[in-house]
Amino acid sequence: MRLVFAGTPDFAVPSLRAAAQRGEVVAVYTQPDRPAGRGRALTPSPVKREALLRGIPVLQPESLRKAESRAALRALRPDLMIVVAYGLILPQAVLEIPTHGCWNVHASLLPRWRGAAPIQRAIEAGDAETGVCLMQMEKGLDTGPVLLSRATPIGEHETGGQLHDRLAELGAQVLGDGLGLLRAGIRPVPQPQPEAGVTYAHKLDKAEAKLDWTRPARVLANQVRAFNPWPMAEAVVAGERLRLHGAVARDEAHGAAPGTLLRAGRDGLDVACGEGTLRIRVLQREGGKAITAADYLNARRDLLAQA
């Protein structure tokens, strides 16, 4: 099979590897190099780096809406285009070019969490389960019929970064299964998404990182997990702004104002919330690295006396 792969971030790399193992990837589409790092030097995407290592030609158009972009894709004579977190909209004219259309690997159990940030939104919402779907793409946002899917539980303390890595590998497995069937002449049967249960995973915003202590502790604990490693939850604790890497909710009654530090110990910093308390276990001071609460208290012994 002549495959064209379109993807950009780390999440898409395992799927590119799976595609390369099961067909001839004749070209890789990825977003243009972007400035990154302190020097703001132009940096290739993770998918581009993987493609170059494999000797696969790379195309980086700013858009696929132009006639010349469609002509370039058509010239590749693709049997199938695989799209994984590409980041650009594919017009209907592009979806119709490959013989078997375009497949998308999406990190949720559709129709729940269509959109840009399904991994983080699932954790933030307190979902017990998520998964990946291999979807036949159509014009709508993640509305296409599902070809294959696989579910997985979300760990009680699993972070956005940890779940991201697991789903990237799971997505590659599901894609590999679909390509294996197609190579054998068996086209996966498209299953239309149900109309009930549609939710949208809106793009993460750095402004969401600031925790609101008036909210329930379990909601804040989910945010801390979901926003690790980005945008990373932030909060003011005992007059100091901290980034929270790890925290758990405690079902504890208290009469303190939200945001009050109730106690500080080697097990964590307990902060009053609108409901319950949030125990901060791993944190980061401005300009510092992630440390445990015990190490933090070595530098803030004043908190031991206050709480």
**Residues of the binding site for (6S)-5,6,7,8-tetrahydrofolate:** 108-111
Query: Hey, which residues does 270 pair with through a beta bridge?
Result: 263, 279
- N-terminal to C-terminal alpha carbon distance within the chain: 65
Residue 79 burial (CB count, 10 A): 18
Whole-number Å distance between alpha carbons of 74 and 141: 23
Structure tokens at 229: 């490693």
The answer to whether 174 and 146 are in contact (CB under 8 A) is no
Whole-number Å distance between alpha carbons of 254 and 27: 60
Q: Quick one: 241 exposed, middle or buried, by C-beta within 10 A (0-12, 13-18, 19+)? A: exposed
Whole-number Å distance between alpha carbons of 102 and 95: 6
Q: Would you list which residues are annotated within the binding site? A: 108-111
Structure tokens at 171: 């997505």
